[in-house]
Amino acid sequence: MTKIFLATIYLSLLATWGFSAGNEQNSGLLQRLRHNHPRLLVLDDQLAGVQELIKTNATAGQLYQRLQTDAEKILRQAPLTYTIGGSEHTLLDVSRNVEGRVWLLAGLYRLNGDRRLAARARDEMLSAAKFPDWYPKHFLDTAEMTAALGLGYDWLFDYLSPQERLTIREAIVTKGLEPGIAGLTEEGRLQRLHNNWVQVCNGGLTLGALAIADEEKPKASEIIGLSRAPMAKIMQLFAPDGGFEEGPIYWNYATAYNVFYLAALDSALGTDFGLSQAPGFSDTGNYRMQTIGPLGTCANFGDAAEQISIAPQMLWLARRFNHPEYVLHEQAVARLPNLNGSKLESSRFSIFELLWNQPTAANLVGANLPVGAKFDRVATAFIRSDGENTNAIYAAFKGGSSRSSHGHLDLGTFVLDAFGERWAIDLGGDSYGLPGYFGAQRWSYYRLRTEGHNTLTIDNQNEDLNAVAPLTAFSSSGDQTFAIADLKAAYPDKLAGWLRGIMLLNRRQVLLQDEIMPKLPADITWNFHTRATITIAGDGKEATLAQGTTKLVARIIQPINARFETAAVRLSSPQRSTAGVSNLMVRLPHMTSPTTVAVLFSSPEDRASQPKIMPLNRWAP
């Protein structure tokens, strides 16, 4: 029985349980409600373990001190005001800052009893409660503010006065739950979503609903009932193996709220209605681990940046599904420097790095990653020479679908790390405030067009928006780790076939090989974006890439008449600058016959070592 078949059974069972707000199931949703506060995410009987860990574990103690320092800074700042801003001109930045402040202050108050922190969190909530609205036309803003005040209400319930509770509760109802009910009903726009918004909107609303459920039973029951169907549906995206089509940055955002949703249901009602058993969800932490390369930067496909952030949901997933390697990896990530050399910045969810912390399992010495992993539905593969060495070779390679939320026209692209540097880069997303960025002009921007990625362009055109590119072969055994994708659908009118394979040879070299079958004469361009300084040898068949004193050599093995050339990538405003980025290219004009393009990447010391080029259909044993 396959995992996909199990996923079908899972969804069928959920459907039989009923999800509409009006059925008998939903009318009794709150019968098992925990009536005392706090009841969300972290209960009082769990705090003693955290307090002991702070005393006995150096990492937890240092984190506590850092969060205390952050809290002291907040104490010196005024509550946030209603301000529309950011690239998309929304309230989202304010909602997230309120969330971060309230959760940090309230969480620390629960640990140390410092009433200054509780008072400041209360003031932040009362200020937000007086806003004219929580900007429901961009519902992420509303959902995160509802979560912010909901969890603050629950965690500070005994500290708040009856009038303060009433003020905050009324704001949650009128500015959070009621707009949420309107959006989640059959004709509401929230019903039509199929991306990370589903987890964030339903997760945030459910936190708010559970916080005030004993005082506002009808509306709380309605939110909880309405949220279950879209959450069950969106969790199909983790099947069959935990991969996530929106990429690693939106994985972090979506799964954070997915876990808040599940954990809140479980702590408040004693059940998550079986939703955590969605196929692939227990394994999704592996996707997080694989998308982060040895340098602490991610495989930033789609609308993502290289910079990573903490993911405290990994700690919850580790405990819920018995994956201690998730804890080890998350603790390692928290120690990484960010791209400018300083420590990773605090997240608005940082308090959960402490509250969900747990001692490292004694029988594990490191979050040692396998040298290869693939995720079939999202058609993304990862290969690396070593699971823990920062100088390891690492490549992330994707097929998939460009119609995925936040996707680019980038089938066949890859990123490459080696010897402590990133060589093949993905430019990531551009400003969401660009005209038509999520509309008609989306495919006019360089970062989103095919030419802006490390893949082939045919006749300087974009790949087909409807193309789907599956992985057709993968191996992580022995000294040859590889993945192959079938990319012919990317140019259905121009190509009769296109396979691209990437192989790690003897854990020292990387071979990138394309097999292309044109239907008509075609101008083929091979693209490789890099921040490195490029020097091309006299015959044009070898390029040396340098970053500081570190070098990588790219050699054209086939075709014998191909040559490298370079072009600076310069984008005009209002697109974001690409200063310092070059495109290393191979141009093959007017190709009419089947063509193999094979490029080998290695250290300068491996120049003499050249593999025999075999057809991709012979890569697999």
Domain final residue, candidates 301, 323, 355: 355
Residues 138 and 277 in one domain: yes
The verdict on residue 324 lying in a domain is: yes
Residues 17 and 153 in one domain: yes
- Radius of gyration over every alpha carbon of the chain, rounded to an integer in angstroms: 26
Residues 270 and 324 in one domain: yes
Range of the domain at 147: 3-22+31-355
Residues 222 and 285 in one domain: yes
* Residue 212 confidence (pLDDT) above 60: yes
d(CA 453, CA 471): 19
Specify the CATH number for the domain of residue 464: 2.70.98.70
Residues 404 and 342 in one domain: no
* Rounded average pLDDT over 553-560: 96
Q: Which of these ranges, 28-32, 131-135, 199-203, 450-454, has the smallest mean pLDDT?
A: 28-32
Which residues does 222 contact at the CB level (< 8 Å), separation at least 6? 21, 26, 181
Sign of torsion over alpha carbons 108, 111, 116, 119: positive
* Residue 573 confidence (pLDDT) above 50: yes
Residues 447 and 522 in one domain: yes
The verdict on residue 362 lying in a domain is: no
The verdict on residue 182 lying in a domain is: yes
Residues 390 and 326 in one domain: no
* Residue 365 confidence (pLDDT) above 60: no
pLDDT of residue 78: 97
- As given in the structure block, the two tokens for residue 141 are 């803003």
* Residue 1 confidence (pLDDT) above 70: no
Domain final residue, candidates 328, 355, 382: 355
pLDDT of residue 321: 95
The verdict on residue 363 lying in a domain is: no
* Rounded average pLDDT over 365-377: 76
The verdict on residue 349 lying in a domain is: yes
What tens digit of pLDDT does each residue of 79-112 get?
Answer: 999 999 988 899 999 999 999 999 999 999 999 9
Q: Which of 125-129, 245-249, 318-322 is the most confident on average?
A: 125-129
* Rounded average pLDDT over 3-22: 47
* Residue 378 confidence (pLDDT) above 80: yes
The verdict on residue 306 lying in a domain is: yes
Q: Which of 1-5, 311-315, 356-360 is the most confident on average?
A: 311-315
d(CA 433, CA 443): 15
d(CA 59, CA 330): 12
> What amino acid occupies position 446?
Y
pLDDT of residue 621: 64
Contact 82, 141 (CB under 8 A): no
Q: Which of 386, 321, 309, 291 is nearest to 352 (CA)?
A: 309
Region label for 356, one of left (φ > 0), alpha (ψ between -120 and 50) or beta (otherwise): alpha
The residues pairing with 509 across neighbouring beta strands, listed in sequence order, are 505
Question: Between the CA of residue 91 and those of 79, 99, 128, what are the distances in Å?
Answer: 15, 12, 11
pLDDT of residue 276: 97
- As given in the structure block, the two tokens for residue 154 are 């629950």
Q: Which of these ranges, 206-220, 344-358, 589-603, has the smallest mean pLDDT?
A: 344-358
Residues 250 and 377 in one domain: no
pLDDT of residue 18: 42
Residues 342 and 410 in one domain: no
Which residues does 39 contact at the CB level (< 8 Å), separation at least 6? 33, 154, 210, 267, 268
pLDDT of residue 20: 42
* Residue 548 confidence (pLDDT) above 70: yes
Specify the CATH number for the domain of residue 10: 1.50.10.100
What tens digit of pLDDT does each residue of 232-274 get?
Answer: 999 999 999 999 999 999 999 999 999 999 999 999 999 999 9
The verdict on residue 113 lying in a domain is: yes
pLDDT of residue 25: 52
Please give the helix or strand (H or E) that residue 510 lies within, else none: strand 509-518
The verdict on residue 201 lying in a domain is: yes
How many domains is the chain partitioned into structurally?
2
Residues 448 and 577 in one domain: yes
Residues 208 and 324 in one domain: yes
Domain final residue, candidates 302, 328, 355: 355
Residues 255 and 393 in one domain: no
* Rounded average pLDDT over 273-285: 96
Average pLDDT, the chain: 91
pLDDT of residue 620: 77
Q: Among all chains, which residue has been given the structure tokens 């506060």?
A: 37
Residues of the chain with pLDDT > 90, as a percent, come to 81
pLDDT of residue 300: 95
User: What is the pTM (predicted TM-score) of this model?
Assistant: 0.92
Q: How many Cβ atoms are within 10 Å of 35's Cβ, its own excluded?
A: 9
